[in-house]
Structure 1
C-alpha cells in the first residue's frame, strides 16, 4: 500500500496545491512506499503566518512551564505507544537496520521526556545590583522556529529540534528531508492527539530550494535550525540575514579516531568499526579518519580489515543485517564516485569498494564496507566528507603528529582517542579541535550533553540545557526597590 502524505498546517492535514508529488522509496528494494507533497512558497508562507499568529496569541507561549511539560510528556507517551511503528517506518524509509531504528525511536521519545523534566528546573538569575536595585535575568521564547532536518536520522533529528523549541514556548515549522518524511508525519499525527494547541506546530514537506529557502528568508521566522551539509548551511546563513534571525547549524564532519600503541587492540578495533560503519557511515560524527600509531599499525590494519570483511550488509528487516542500505541511488553513486577517486589518487583499497548486487540485494542501494590505506592528507578521500561506509587509515609516530593530523581539517565535529594511559588520552583529546569527543569509546552520548562542532562543522549546540538555550531569548529586568527621582538634569 502506497501512503498519500499531506501537509499539516494550522492543525489540519491538507493536500498541497502543487499536483507534483515526491516518490518515497524503500532504499533496500526501491519500492515506492509513499507519495509526498511538494509544498509551494505560498503554502510555506501560510504555515509561517499561522505559527506567528499562534505565538502572538499566547496560546502556547504563555502557558506555564509546568503546562508545557505536561504536553511534552503526552507526546512522549504517544511515541512510546507507537514505538514499533515508528521504528518500522524509519527502517523502511531510511534503510536503517531494525536495531538502529528501534534505538532512534526510543531515544526520540526520551528526548521529549528530558525536556519536559528540564522545564521543572529553576531557570534564571537574580542579582543585587546595588542597595536599591535588583536585576532579574529571565528566559523567553524567541517566536517562530524553522526546523530543517536531514535524511540520515529523520526521526531523531526532528525530535532533537522540536522538543527544545516547543519546551521553550515557540511555535515551529518542521521541514523534513524530501526523501525521508515518514516518521515526521507519524510524530505529527501523534502530537495531534495531545493537548498541543492547533497552529503551534506545522509540517511542510517539499524542496530545500522552495520550502527551506522560504523559511530561511522569512522576516517572520526568528530562528532557523538546520542539520545537513556545510554548503547548504552557508546558503541558509546568507538567506537568514534579511531580519538577522538567529541561525543554529550542525554541519559536516571528517572526524579523527586516534589509536595509540598502548590501546587495548580489541576495544580499539571494535569501536573503530562501529565509529564508521554504524548507519552505513551516513552519520555526521562518523570516525572516518583512523589514525594509528606506527607500533601497532600493521596489526591493527590486518585485524580491522578482517573484521570489516565479515560485516553482514543487508536489508534492515533481516535480523542478521548489521549494516543497512544507502539512503538513495543518488547518494550511493556519490559514495562510489569517491571510492573511484580514492583509487585514482593512489590510495590502497584493502577491502570493499563495490555496490552489492547479490543475495536478493540487486534492487537495493548497498555498498560494501570499504577501507583505504596509504593515504596522504591532501587526498580528497581524506579531506572531504564522503558520508558513507568508507574509512581511511593513516599512520603517525607520536602525540605531536597525531594532534597535527587530527586537526588538519576544515571540520571540527567529533573525535576520539584510544589509550590505556589516561593522562595521555586527556592531553590529546583536549587538543583535538572538535565539539564531541570520546576517550576509549565512540558514538555513545546522551540527551543531557550538548551536540555541535567547531570550525565549519557548525554554529550553536543541540541537546542538554544548551539545546533549550538555543530557542530562548535572554532578558534582563531591572527593578528599583526605592523609586525616587534621579535628578540627573537639575
Structure 2
C-alpha cells in the first residue's frame, strides 16, 4: 500500500436538511436501505463468514412491524474460534508499518464520506435517529477514522517529534507497540460513530479485535465491518461476533488471551466487566487493560447573569436530543432562584414545540430504543411524579413504537432520585438554587462526572466554574452534548468511566505499550 501525503485534520461538515434537495436525498437513501430489510448477516471469523441458526432480530424501534435484519449470533465455541483467528492475525498485523495501517482508515473514511447518507439511513431505521442526529453521527465516524489515522502516524514518529535525551555512546529510542487481542463492546446509542472510533483506534495501533456489537443495533455494526473488508483490511484483524453479553461477553472478557477490553455502556455493565477483567485467568501473563465510558447524570447550571434564551435552548436540546439517549444528555437543570421562573417558562415553551413521530419522516423526537428502556423510563416518570411538579409530558406518545413524551419536572429536590440516577430517556429534572455556588454544589453531588454546562456572563464566576465543576467535559454558555473529535476529547470522571478521552491526542496510547530501547556501541 503506497503512503500518501495526508492533509491536516478537519472535521467533516454536517448536512443541512432544511434544504429540500438534502431532505430528498435522505428520503431516497432510506428507501434504498429498506430494500435490505430482513437480510441475514453472518459472523466474520478470520476469512470465514458464518451463518448460525440462532439469530438476533433487529427491529425498528419506531415501527415494530419492521425487521431491519437477522444477525447471526455467536456462542462460546464460535467466540473461541474468533479469538484464535485474532491471535493468528496479530502475529502479522503487528508488523505492518503504522503508516500502512493508517491508510486502511483513510480509505474507509473516503468511502464512508461518499456513502454518508447510506450509513445514516441505516441508523434512522435501526436506532430511531432523525436525519440530523444520524448525519452528525456519521460525520463523527468519519472524523474518528481520519483523526486516529493521523495520530498513529504521529505516535510512530515520536522519536523525531519528541526525542529522548541521548547519552554519550548510546542511542535511546521510544516506540509505541500494540498490546494484542482486544474485545470491543460498543453501545447501541451511537452504533456508527462510537463503534467505528473504538474499533479503528485499536486496529490502527496494531491490535486485532473481536467486535461484539450491541444487540439492538448489530446491522449498523456489520455495515462498518463490510466497509473495512472492502478497503482490504486483512482477515482476522477485525472479527465480528454478535452475541449475548452473559454468554460470550463474559467469556471473552475473562479469556486469558484477551489483552484489553474497550467498552462503552452502562455503569452496571462497566463495573461488571471491570471486575471480570481484574481476575487473573489461568495462563494469563498480563494485567488486562480496560478502557471504559459508562454514562453520566449530566447537568446545566444557569446563574442570574445568563442569557436565558440561550440557556433554555441548550437545556432542551441537551435533554431531548435523540430522546435523551446520550451519556452526555443534560437530564438536570440547576437554576438560580432569581431567574428560575423565567427560565422554566422558556424551557416549557420550547419543549412543547417538539413534535413526536417516525424518524424516517424526520420528526424531532422519535422512539426510545426498546421495550426494556421504555419500561425503565416510564418507571422513572412515575417516580418523578412523586418527587417534583410535572409541567409537561409524563406519558407515552402515539405510534407503533416505543414513543415517550418529552417530560419536564420542576421544583425537584437536589437529593431526589430523578436528580441522582441516570434515566437515559426524555426526562428533565429542574432544581432551584439560592446562588451559583449552591447550583455548582448541586451539580457536583453525583457519582458521575461526564459532561456539564455553566451559563453566565460573569468572567469571575466562569473561571470558578471551570475549576470547581467536576466533570470530564465542561462547556461554558453552550449545550453539554455534541463533542467534536479533535476539539472536545471525550470521557468522564468517577463512575462515568476511565476518562479515556476519545477523539483526543492521548487516546491511542491506551491501545499501545511504550517500549524504550538503549543501544550502546
Name the TM tier (shorter chain): over 0.9
Aligned to 2:12: none
Find the aligned partners of 1:11 and 1:364 in 2 and give their Cα distance. Answer: 38
Give how far 1:12 is off.
Answer: 2.5
State how far apart, in whole Å, the 1-side matches of 2:227 and 2:204 are: 17
State the match for 1:48 in structure 2: 83
What SS is found at the alignment partner of 1:222?
strand
2:494 maps to what in 1?
A: 455
CA–CA separation in structure 2 for the residues paired with 1:390 and 1:466: 34
Matched pairs, number: 471
C-alpha distance in 2 between matches for 1:210 and 1:289: 36
| Residue matched to 2:518 | 478
SS of aligned partner of 1:337: helix
Per the alignment, residue 186 of structure 1 pairs with 223
* SS of the residue 2:232 aligns to: coil
1:129 deviates by: 5.8
Give me the whole-angstrom Cα distance separating, in 2, the residues matched to 1:202 and 1:445. 28
Q: Distance in 1 between matches of 2:221 and 2:255?
A: 23
TM-superposed CA distance for 1:378, in Å, is 2.3
Q: CA deviation digits over 1:169-228, x for unaligned, max 9?
A: 111111110111111111111111112111111111111111211221111111101001
Higher helix share: 2
Residues 493 and 499, structure 2, Cα contact 8 Å, conserved in 1: no
Pick from 54, 63, 68 the counterpart of residue 29 of structure 1. 63
| Paired residue secondary structure (1:226) | strand
TM-score by length of 2: 0.88
Aligned to 2:29: none
User: What does 1:337-352 correspond to in 2, within 5 Å?
Assistant: 337-344=379-386, 346-352=387-393
Residues 413 and 435, structure 1, Cα contact 8 Å, conserved in 2 = yes
1:389 counterpart (426, 432, 450): 426
How far apart, in 1, do the equivalents of 2:366 and 2:518 lie?
57
Residues 156-181 of structure 1 show CA distances to partners (whole Å, capped at 9, x for unaligned) of: 11011012112111111111101111
Measured in 2, the distance between the counterparts of 1:37 and 1:404 equals 48
Secondary structure of the residue aligned to 1:136 is strand
> Which has the larger displacement, 441-450 or 196-205?
441-450
Q: Deviations over 1:117-174 (max 9, x none)?
A: 2233232443326434443222111111210011111111101101211211111111
Q: 3-state SS of the aligned residue for 1:394?
A: strand
Partner in structure 2 of residue 6 of structure 1? 42
Of the three residues 103, 116, 123, the one matched with 2:136 is 103
Q: Distance in 2 between matches of 1:82 and 1:8?
A: 22
Question: Is the Cα contact below 8 Å between 1:128 and 1:134 reproduced in 2?
Answer: no
Q: Is the 8 A contact 1:127 1:134 kept in 2?
A: no
| 2:106 counterpart (73, 90, 97) | 73
Deviation of 1:426 (Å): 2.5
Unaligned ranges ≥5, structure 1: 484-490
Task: Summarize the alignment of residues 56-205 of structure 1 with structure 2, pairs less than 5 Å apart.
Answer: 56=91, 58=92, 60-121=93-154, 122-124=157-159, 125-128=162-165, 130-205=167-242
TM-score by length of 1: 0.93
Task: Indicate if the aligned counterparts of 1:71 and 1:194 stay in contact, CA closer than 8 A.
Answer: yes
- Aligned position for 2:5: none
The within-5 A match list for 1:313-392 is: 313-319=356-362, 321-344=363-386, 346-357=387-398, 361=399, 363-392=400-429
The answer (yes or no) to whether the contact 2:147–2:503 under 8 Å persists in 1 is: no
Q: SS at 1:405's partner residue?
A: helix
Matches within 5 A, 1:222-241: 222-241=259-278
- Alpha-carbon deviation of 1:460? 4.0
Residues in 1 aligned to 2:440 and 2:463: alpha-carbon distance in whole angstroms: 12
